[in-house]
Structure 1
Amino acid sequence: MTVLRSGVDTTATEFAANREAMLAKLADLDAEHAKAVAGGGEKYVSRHRARGKLLARERVELLLDPDSPFLELSPLAAWGTDYQVGGSLVTGIGVVEGVECLVNASDPTVKGGAINPWGMRKGFRAADIAAQNGLPTVNLVESGGADLPTQKEIFIPGGRTFRDLTRSSAAGVPTVALVFGNSTAGGAYLPGMSDHVVMVKDRAKVFLGGPPLVKMATGEESDDESLGGAEMHARVSGLADYLAVDERDAIRLGRRIVARLNWRKRGPAPAADYAEPEHDPEDLLGIVPTDLKVPFDPREVIARVVDGSDFDEFKPLYGSSLVTGWAQVHGYPVGILANARGVLFSEESQKATQFIQLANQTNTPLLFLHNTTGYMVGKEYEQGGIIKHGAMMINAVSNSKVPHISVLMGSSYGAGHYGMCGRAYDPRFLFAWPSAKSAVMGPQQLAGVLSIVMRQGAEARGQAYNEEHDAAMRAMVENQIEAESLPTFLSGMLYDDGIIDPRDTRTVLGIALSAVHTTTVEGADSFGVFRM
């Protein structure tokens, strides 16, 4: 056994300060999550309940197996915009009758569950996760369709929702729709393109055009029930496979459908037994410094996340700014790449390239723990080949076929974000800690670069440089970049799959690794040309 020792002093002043700062960030995060849980607010929640209906999260809870976890995805979608936090949609991974499923639930308390641009993007991300990991999808539907005032942003790309459903079915991955209320216009195709459909009697309304539109288009007089009611679809059109007497019955039927899928995971099973970490995950609150310029040892994180705190480090004496090695998380093997001192040099880049190739040879998923300011700059490093060595690492990440999972713990700046498998490199999952920041570079560096360029421009024109204007510009830019680097902003933009409590990292990774093993895990058999 190669159990990691810990050097964390939980009695130190710095540890206490770090812990308090992290707890404050988590309190702020809880307040933002509460906005998503609140849906459309008390007025619309009360109106919804008065109609005898369950809320979106209540439907999800009843669908899932008792006491099983639910990994909610993108809960802060639309944060910082004019739209409700959460994007009027609840998405996540949960277990239904022993089967891991991707669950989507419309929130009808937010504009009748109408899909806005952010809810659409959130749905796309959920569909990507379902497709990449081969997860059956259960849609809990009650939506008035597109948010009409924003149709110009929704209509053209929105058709992808139905494309994804049919592709999932063609790939042999089941899709289930439980319709609780309206599913109109384009939304009617959601049950129409699902493999299994349940509708709630006297509640579900599924039609391409409601009575007013039909009247305008054809002059025909009709009512909701004869045009698109659940009983009509169960008895006449055949769109409904099952007619539920109420919402709870619909959820019961949905669970029975999943139970009868005869679904089997295709990836290798986890180890039959494994040990919990030797070190307390509570310590993760105090490990990341309040000032991200101060480095911290990622082995302290690894020791509190992996099984038995057991970690076999690869090339420990070479490229020491990047820690690489092998471990298990909840019985699943992983290769870990973790930034130790922020900067990536040529040695770290070459070490990462070899390690990624080894992981692909052994079909081992990769876990990237981010705390990087990017690749090293300067004459010595440019002459030493930092560009081609950084390109080697990015090449390896880009063409690696084993599942990747990324966790942003601290900084994730510049091309280092790319080399450590940022969002653009399609990790299966990407999560952030409240301490994380990500941007093209740090706020002070970016403002400083702009200042230098503007100063040189003034000198070239023979003009005096306005120092007062420069100071104001730098302050404005620093504030803007700082705000746009924060995890809440990035999560609102759907650049991660959620901000997590550091203490939950092991649990979240366990759920994610279980999900990726729904499909076969196979490494790449070729890479692009490596510049040597």
Structure 2
Amino acid sequence: MPFLESRLHTAGDAYQANRASMLSLLDQVRSHEARAVAASSASAERFAKRGQLLPRERLALLLDTGAPFLPLATLAGLGQDNPDLSKSVPGGGLIAGIGRVAGVRCMISASDSGIDAGALQPMGLDKQLRLHEIALENKLPFIQLVESAGANLMQYRVQDFVRGGNIFRNLARLSAAGLPVVTVTHGSSTAGGAYQTGLSDYIVMVRDRTRAFLAGPPLLKAATGEIATEEELGGAVMHTHISGLGDYLAEDDRDALRIARAILGGIDWARDEAPRTFAPPRHDAEELMGLMPADGRRPVDMREVIARIADGSEFLAFSEHYGSATVCGHIRLEGHAVGIITNNGPIDSDGATKATHFIQACCQSRTPIVYLQNITGYMVGRTHEEAGIIKHGAKMIQAVTSANVPQITLHCGASYGAGNYGMCGRGFAPRFCFSWPNARTAVMGGEQAAQTMAIVMEAGMARKGAVDREKIDAMQRQIVERFERQMSVFTTSALLLDDGVIDPRDTRAVLAEALSICRDAEARAPQPMQFSVARP
């Protein structure tokens, strides 16, 4: 397979400026993530007095030492609790990702109980539902480390209550699909959250710490007048000895995590296969930091990205000279055969036709597809309309929609207009969707939107006989500001329009892990049932 030579000029001023911009954005991402860690860690003394581990300490003990862990949606909810992003605590109240437990790759969701007692946040609900979706599609066992005060009644929203039922529905679906649900209830699991524990196949409870009940003492007294202690209502001993809700009684957090690992170790589930052999890229991944222009209007050759993620930097271009702005071809990535689609300009009719053919050919050979998005959209204008850009673009969107192989999307730069759709944006349900810190997503660029509306407004004013240029200019500034704010990755990732923001230098490792997850899912045949496993 031919390999890609790099033409990237790393000593130039433009590269250095791009690199500085990317590093600054990455620092912002890490700063937001660190704020969530710090907010949770601030509870360390309180947890220690109770003999408990912090949520991230629990996760570390659960996971296999040295095995990869793919964190998900770390910026979920950023800006929702405080419009000042420098003071907002992201994460949605959950720590989540895909990792290995006793050699089994699992989806893991841990209540971040160091923050607001683990109360469920609005975007935490959406995050939890996305975790379920990934687990179901990729046939992953689901592990929950639960300690949550439940919904925050001071921030009650009826839509969250109603949609929250999807959490419990999905837990039943996971079990019925043959995907074990293992729950360690480290602390409170109350009201509707009690079903988060109850709808599990294996339940571990911690002596003197677990609290699982439909109504806690205050609500019980208000509703019925009955007086009972938390331990009497829903303690670990009661549930493991009397109600039968709990299967395993642990002495403390460490013991509970030991039991959870033993559960995963005891089920008949495929473990990791032998490591694959492959050649590393010929070009340094560090150079990805200065590849994307800080000014998104400047072009970039996306083959430079491919050259830094493909095994041996080898790339077999497909129909290279037809619809050349749409780049399609085959690579191997840590041994995985992959089809790549990316953009060196807007998608024209030829590019859309080529991409459609390539997607269908990948489906025929069962080859996963990775989309590297840096797209300003489909070509517009009379010539392109006459050439059938709508129907050819529609064929590409149909191919993306109907593809029966894993599709993974990475936002490397711009993601504008219908280009977001044709390149398998979030709305087209890629298995995984990640972003670089510089990614920008919008129906169009802010200046373009402002100019469009200015033309419309000016024409309307002219019909009335008076054009107010100051009003038009103010409107344009307002539109640009709104678009700039919403297209930022700090907004899109906060709204779960991706599965997380990654360091460009980690692209190869992240894609390799995602491809491995997809490959295992395709090969796995869980035992589905017409029902989920019910408690005794």
Contact 1:144 1:183 in 2 (8 A): yes
Residues 242-271 of structure 1, C-alpha deviations (whole Å, 9 max, x = no match): 0000000000000000111111279xx798
The CA distance in 1 between the partners of 2:65 and 2:369, in whole Å, is 31
Residues 420-465 of structure 1, C-alpha deviations (whole Å, 9 max, x = no match): 00000000110111111010000100011111111111223x3211
SS at match of 2:11: coil
Residue 62 of structure 1 and its aligned partner are, at CA, apart by 0.7
Residue 291 of structure 2 is matched in structure 1 by 287
Contact 1:198 1:253 in 2 (8 A): yes
Residues 371-417 of structure 1, C-alpha deviations (whole Å, 9 max, x = no match): 11100111111111111111010010011111110000110000000
Residue 529 of structure 1 is matched in structure 2 by none
Contact 1:265 1:517 in 2 (8 A): no
Contact 1:374 1:415 in 2 (8 A): yes
Equivalence map 1:163-202=2 (5 Å) = 163-202=169-208
Equivalence map 1:208-287=2 (5 Å) = 208-264=214-270, 272-287=276-291
Report the residue type matching 2:243 in the other structure: S
Residue 118 of structure 2 is matched in structure 1 by 113
Report the residue type matching 1:436 in the other structure: A
Residues 292-343 of structure 1, C-alpha deviations (whole Å, 9 max, x = no match): 11111111111111112111110111111111011111221110001112x1
The CA distance in 2 between the partners of 1:376 and 1:307, in whole Å, is 33
Contact 1:230 1:240 in 2 (8 A): yes
Is 1:363 equivalent to 2:366 in the alignment? yes
Contact 1:406 1:427 in 2 (8 A): yes
Contact 2:190 2:215 in 1 (8 A): yes
Report the residue type matching 2:60 in the other structure: E
SS at match of 1:519: helix
* TM-score with structure 1 setting the length: 0.95
Deviates more, 1:80-89 or 1:349-358: 80-89
Is 1:104 equivalent to 2:109 in the alignment? yes
The CA distance in 1 between the partners of 2:319 and 2:369, in whole Å, is 16
Change (3 A) 1:253 1:440: same
The CA distance in 2 between the partners of 1:77 and 1:154, in whole Å, is 16
Is 1:122 equivalent to 2:127 in the alignment? yes
The CA distance in 1 between the partners of 2:364 and 2:140, in whole Å, is 25
Identical residues among aligned pairs (%): 47
Contact 1:335 1:366 in 2 (8 A): yes
SS at match of 1:264: coil
Residue 302 of structure 2 is matched in structure 1 by 298
The CA distance in 2 between the partners of 1:138 and 1:22, in whole Å, is 35
SS at match of 2:192: helix
Change (3 A) 1:93 1:62: same
Contact 2:327 2:342 in 1 (8 A): yes
Residue 510 of structure 1 is matched in structure 2 by 512
Contact 1:409 1:436 in 2 (8 A): yes
Change (3 A) 1:320 1:271: farther
Is 1:317 equivalent to 2:321 in the alignment? yes
The CA distance in 2 between the partners of 1:202 and 1:300, in whole Å, is 57
Residue 521 of structure 1 and its aligned partner are, at CA, apart by 6.7
Residue 138 of structure 1 and its aligned partner are, at CA, apart by 0.4
Residue 52 of structure 1 and its aligned partner are, at CA, apart by 2.4
2:407 pairs, out of 404, 409, 412, with 404
Residue 519 of structure 1 and its aligned partner are, at CA, apart by 1.6
Contact 1:310 1:327 in 2 (8 A): yes
The CA distance in 1 between the partners of 2:40 and 2:254, in whole Å, is 23
Is 1:33 equivalent to 2:33 in the alignment? yes
Report the residue type matching 1:113 in the other structure: G
Residue 529 of structure 2 is matched in structure 1 by none
SS at match of 1:284: helix
The CA distance in 1 between the partners of 2:478 and 2:46, in whole Å, is 44
SS at match of 2:305: helix
Is 1:335 equivalent to 2:339 in the alignment? yes
The CA distance in 1 between the partners of 2:523 and 2:215, in whole Å, is 44
Report the residue type matching 2:131 in the other structure: A
Residue 499 of structure 1 and its aligned partner are, at CA, apart by 0.8
The CA distance in 1 between the partners of 2:111 and 2:371, in whole Å, is 32
The CA distance in 1 between the partners of 2:228 and 2:500, in whole Å, is 45
The CA distance in 2 between the partners of 1:39 and 1:165, in whole Å, is 29
Contact 1:318 1:347 in 2 (8 A): yes
The CA distance in 2 between the partners of 1:265 and 1:450, in whole Å, is 57
Report the residue type matching 1:33 in the other structure: E
The CA distance in 1 between the partners of 2:261 and 2:305, in whole Å, is 38
Contact 2:36 2:90 in 1 (8 A): yes
SS at match of 1:160: helix
Residue 193 of structure 1 and its aligned partner are, at CA, apart by 0.7
Is 1:144 equivalent to 2:149 in the alignment? yes
Residue 15 of structure 1 is matched in structure 2 by 15
Contact 2:186 2:206 in 1 (8 A): yes
Contact 1:402 1:521 in 2 (8 A): no
Residue 433 of structure 2 is matched in structure 1 by 430
Change (3 A) 1:204 1:151: farther
Change (3 A) 1:151 1:48: farther
Report the residue type matching 2:18 in the other structure: N
Please list every run of 5 or more consecutive structure 2 residues that lacks an aligned counterpart in the other structure.
83-88, 525-536
Report the residue type matching 2:461 in the other structure: A
Change (3 A) 1:470 1:316: same
Deviates more, 1:74-83 or 1:481-490: 74-83
Contact 2:51 2:252 in 1 (8 A): no
* TM-score with structure 2 setting the length: 0.94
Is 1:153 equivalent to 2:156 in the alignment? no
Residue 217 of structure 1 and its aligned partner are, at CA, apart by 2.4
The CA distance in 1 between the partners of 2:405 and 2:277, in whole Å, is 23
Residue 137 of structure 2 is matched in structure 1 by 132
The CA distance in 1 between the partners of 2:276 and 2:186, in whole Å, is 40
Residue 527 of structure 1 is matched in structure 2 by none
Deviates more, 1:52-61 or 1:238-247: 52-61
SS at match of 1:308: helix
Please list every run of 5 or more consecutive structure 1 residues that lacks an aligned counterpart in the other structure.
523-532
Residue 153 of structure 1 and its aligned partner are, at CA, apart by 3.2
The CA distance in 2 between the partners of 1:311 and 1:41, in whole Å, is 45
